[in-house]
């Protein structure tokens, strides 16, 4: 009787483990499928499936020719004037090696067009082409998405966060902001977007005072989904040269570099401390062994 009860308990445990493993597998599979579908929303994803690194000329051609730029086909009333980029202000915020690239964007649009943009699940997409001297942390961006700061955000290209600037390739940050929930302006004829992308400085090369990092202009788009298929989007590109009286001066971040002479001194000091620490550990071990031996002799 006891053996049968034990076997029944073992069978129940095995069934529980099997059910648990199946549930975990189903959850992981569903999560991976959801993430794969979610990644299809990103414009830069298709580019980096074809190319390993960011090449300005090729990426410009990709934005101009391979993105469905036909927002007017989605809008029901063809008499509406499409949105236009009217203002763009950019600057670096913060101190030290962790800063934020701030972009204040204003679009000009007809009041009647707002209902159209809302009805078609439209969103503003900002694509930042980062220099090799900085990087964006994908986990930090996902945390902002979870907090509702961005609708979606992802990093493409070189996502190795530990590489120094002279070994790293460039990366691209793509940020999505939903028009209905985040960026409808209180102004009647304007659509305001304020984006702050957190950035981190990579380890700069030694031997110079500062490593200058220049940020070019972002790629700005408004994309809307059709009623039949949410993944079938049409976009409207917003070149910054359409803004009247826009100078377009690059945003600059001067990152302090280490001095070679200081690096030599620091290395020598660290090496000296390591030697002293090793000697102290050896002496402590010898003294401890001697004291243990003398205690044993006294006890005998």
For residue 173, how many other CB atoms are within 10 A of its CB? 25
Could you tell me if 133 and 163 are in contact, meaning their C-beta atoms sit under 8 angstroms apart? no
Alpha helices in 124-230 (DSSP H): 138-146
pLDDT at 143 over 50: yes
What's residue 30's pLDDT?
36
Q: Confidence band (pLDDT; 50, 70, 90) for 33?
A: very low
What DSSP letter does each residue of 33-85 carry, written as one string? HHHHHHHTT-HHHHHHHH-SS--HHHHHHHHHHSS---HHHH-S-TTSPPPEE
201-259 per-position pLDDT tens digit: 988 877 677 788 899 889 988 887 755 555 566 778 887 776 655 656 788 988 887 66
The answer to whether residue 120 sits within a structural domain is yes
Higher model confidence: residue 281 or residue 227? 281
Q: Confidence band (pLDDT; 50, 70, 90) for 13?
A: low
The answer to whether residue 166 sits within a structural domain is yes
Rounded-to-integer distance, Cα 244 and Cα 166, Å:
37
CB hemisphere CA count around 42 (13 angstroms): 23
What's residue 140's pLDDT?
93
pLDDT at 36 over 50: no
Phi-psi region of 245 (alpha: psi -120 to 50; beta: other; left: phi over 0): left
Higher model confidence: residue 182 or residue 9? 9
Higher model confidence: residue 284 or residue 2? 284
Tell me the residue length of the chain.
Answer: 300
pLDDT at 37 over 50: no
Q: What is the three-class DSSP state of 94?
A: coil
What's residue 199's pLDDT?
94
Q: What is the three-class DSSP state of 271?
A: helix
pLDDT at 44 over 50: yes
Could you tell me if 129 and 59 are in contact, meaning their C-beta atoms sit under 8 angstroms apart? yes
Rounded-to-integer distance, Cα 269 and Cα 259, Å:
15
CA distances from 171 to 64, 157, 158 (A): 19, 4, 5
Rounded-to-integer distance, Cα 189 and Cα 194, Å:
17
The answer to whether residue 12 sits within a structural domain is no
Higher model confidence: residue 265 or residue 259? 265
Higher model confidence: residue 231 or residue 42? 42
pTM score: 0.69
Domain count, the chain: 1
The answer to whether residue 4 sits within a structural domain is no
Average pLDDT, the chain: 75
Domain carrying residue 112: 43-256
Rounded-to-integer distance, Cα 67 and Cα 236, Å:
9
The answer to whether residue 242 sits within a structural domain is yes
Residue 205: CB partners within 8 Å, gap ≥ 6?
Answer: 164, 165, 166, 211, 257
Query: What is the mean predicted confidence (pLDDT) over 130-158?
Result: 92
Query: What is the mean predicted confidence (pLDDT) over 7-18?
Result: 56
The answer to whether residue 293 sits within a structural domain is no
pLDDT at 35 over 50: no
The answer to whether residue 22 sits within a structural domain is no
Query: What is the mean predicted confidence (pLDDT) over 54-62?
Result: 90
Rounded-to-integer distance, Cα 177 and Cα 141, Å:
13
Percentage of the chain modeled with pLDDT above 90: 17
What's residue 166's pLDDT?
81
Tokens of 92: 């670096």
């Amino acid at each position: 009787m006891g053996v049968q009860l034990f076997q029944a308990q073992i069978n129940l445990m095995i069934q529980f483990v099997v059910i648990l493993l199946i549930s975990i597998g189903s959850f992981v599979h569903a999560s991976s499928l959801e993430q794969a579908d979610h990644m299809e929303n990103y414009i830069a994803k298709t580019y980096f499936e074809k190319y390993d690194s960011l090449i300005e000329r090729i990426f410009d051609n990709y934005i101009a020719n391979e993105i469905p730029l036909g927002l007017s086909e989605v809008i029901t009333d063809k008499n509406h004037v499409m949105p236009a980029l009217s203002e763009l202000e950019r600057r670096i915020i913060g101190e030290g090696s962790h800063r934020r690239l701030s972009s204040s964007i204003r679009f000009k649009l007809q009041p009647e067009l707002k209902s159209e943009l809302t009805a078609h699940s439209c969103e503003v997409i900002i694509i930042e082409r980062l220099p090799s001297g900085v990087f964006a942390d994908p986990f930090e961006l996902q945390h902002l998405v979870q907090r509702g700061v961005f609708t979606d955000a992802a990093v493409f290209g070189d996502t190795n966060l530990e590489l120094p600037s002279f070994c790293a390739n460039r990366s691209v940050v793509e940020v999505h902001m939903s028009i209905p929930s985040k960026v409808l302006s209180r102004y009647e004829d304007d659509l305001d977007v304020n984006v702050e992308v957190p950035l981190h400085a990579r380890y700069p090369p030694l031997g110079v005072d500062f490593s200058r990092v220049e940020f070019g202009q972002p790629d700005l788009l408004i994309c809307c989904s059709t009623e039949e298929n949410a993944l079938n989007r049409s976009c409207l590109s917003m070149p910054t040269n359409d803004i009247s009286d826009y100078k377009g001066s690059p945003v600059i971040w001067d990152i302090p570099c280490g001095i070679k002479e200081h690096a030599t001194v620091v290395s020598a000091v660290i090496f000296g401390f390591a030697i002293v620490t090793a000697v102290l550990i050896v002496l402590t071990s010898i003294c401890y062994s001697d004291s243990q031996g003398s205690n044993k002799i006294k006890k005998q």
